[in-house]
Amino acid sequence: MSVEFGKRLVVAETPIPGLLIVDLPVHGDSRGWFKENWQRQKMTDAGLPDFGPVQNNISFNDAVGTTRGIHAEPWDKFVSVTTGRIFGAWVDLREGPSYGTVFTTEIDPSRAVFVPRGVGNSYQTLEPDTAYAYLVNDHWSPDAEYAFLNLADETAAIAWPIPLAEAEISEKDRNHPRLEGVTPIAPRRILVLGANGQLGRALHAEYGEAAHIEYATRADLDVTAPGLDSVRRWRDYGVIINAAAHTAVDQAETPEGRASAWAANATGPAALARIAAEHGITLVHVSSDYVFDGSSASPYGEDAAFSPLGVYGQSKAAGDIAVATAPRHYILRTSWLIGAGSNFVATMASLAERGIDPRVVDDQTGRLTFTADLARGIRHLLEADAAYGTYNLTGSGPARTWADIARDVYQATGHDPARVHGVSTADYFASAAGPVAPRPRNSMLDLDKITATGFTPSDANSALNAYLAAR
């Protein structure tokens, strides 16, 4: 067997999205050869995904023409040869536009291949005593979903070096279905938590009823309950969107509310971060302007230091810190969220219609964020493969006070905006019966980072008018 020495480590794409060919440096002389079969840092720097292998398998075939496959598994694998040479054939069996795409090549010790989840793979030995190894990022499970394709499928039309009639093939592999009879491998699932909340309902509207989207309420899945690791086959999930939170900021200042806020906003996200890190899941988490004290004279950037004033803000800051430990995470920091159901805008519109002249706080500034915009931004970051990290996302436009927005609502609904009376935060809560959470005076968030990804936040005032028109 001849091995090509001296290659540079190079990762190359193929016609199948995500299927990558890797040239491996092999060092040898008259004594034999050596290679780094898997070197995480070098290979990820060269372009391989950091796929987190958990198991190493070796397949040995003593006869030329031994042919295995075509099998598509619900995990990623990195395949390399230790001795001998193989012909590899891959067929994309994933749902989507590349379904049925075929790629073939030969692999020897100086070449390897990264096979993404759902791509069917098959190997035919070209030399005796051939062994190939494959790293996989999940353990075998009888509950996992597989797809199989017949080696002789006419649509794939694989040009096998050794005719299948002369090859060593298992009876099971000979009887797999043709392409028209294959059930495609679905994408890894997206789990939306907090599905009955304002943002959860907006995410439902954004993603619809696709089979790989799962919507869960707290009754369906309580992330603060013990045993979270075992309530799902987490390797089947590619994304968790955590739209669940304890948002009753005043109630969070009570003994019962404090415990609830910390459980929902910190303990739960920390548990999700552990699961996301272990299973290679992208964790999307929604944060708040309340992680800041509002004393800044300018909009807050993503890297501003935490300085929460009350229990709600403290619990949200703790959740952000926990989520940031997941290698694949997006933290969406937002403010003044408006969506379906009870909210400030709906309340002001109702007061206007009932002839009530409200007292509204005029010393807190920020921008409204509509849940449809936030849901759109979440999807954008995921589909654009934006760099992981924290992003501010609110409506765009000038700073407004709550009183300004109330007047805008009155104006847009045909009522006199002068009926809205501005008051200070201290005066507004002076006669409150229960605990009152401190509010940040400045809730403005800088939007430069998310706009640099190609996302354009909606103008807050235009979105307000559209929201009122749709009521």
Catalytic residues: 71, 134
Using CA atoms, how far apart are residues 166 and 126, in angstroms rounded to an integer? Answer: 13
Using CA atoms, how far apart are residues 107 and 389, in angstroms rounded to an integer? Answer: 37
| 449 neighbors 392 (Cβ within 8 angstroms) | yes
Using CA atoms, how far apart are residues 86 and 131, in angstroms rounded to an integer? Answer: 9
Tokens representing 314? 């403290």
For residue 206, count other CB atoms closer than 10 A to its CB: 17
Using CA atoms, how far apart are residues 412 and 113, in angstroms rounded to an integer? Answer: 60
Using CA atoms, how far apart are residues 326 and 278, in angstroms rounded to an integer? Answer: 9
Nearest to 183 by CA among 44, 35, 103, 74: 74
Tokens representing 273? 């971060």
- Helix, strand, coil percentages in the chain from 3-state DSSP, rounded to 5: 30, 25, 45
Residue 258, phi then psi, degrees to nearest 5: -60, -45
Residue 233, phi then psi, degrees to nearest 5: -85, 90
Q: Please name the residues in contact with 84: beta carbons below 8 A apart, sequence gap of 6 or more.
A: 1, 61, 108, 125, 126, 127, 128, 129, 130, 131, 132
CA distances from 29 to 6, 81, 266 (A): 11, 19, 57
Cis peptide leading into 107, omega within 30 of 0?
A: no
Tokens representing 444? 């403005």
What is the CA 246 to chain-centroid distance, rounded? 22
Residue 118, phi then psi, degrees to nearest 5: 90, -5
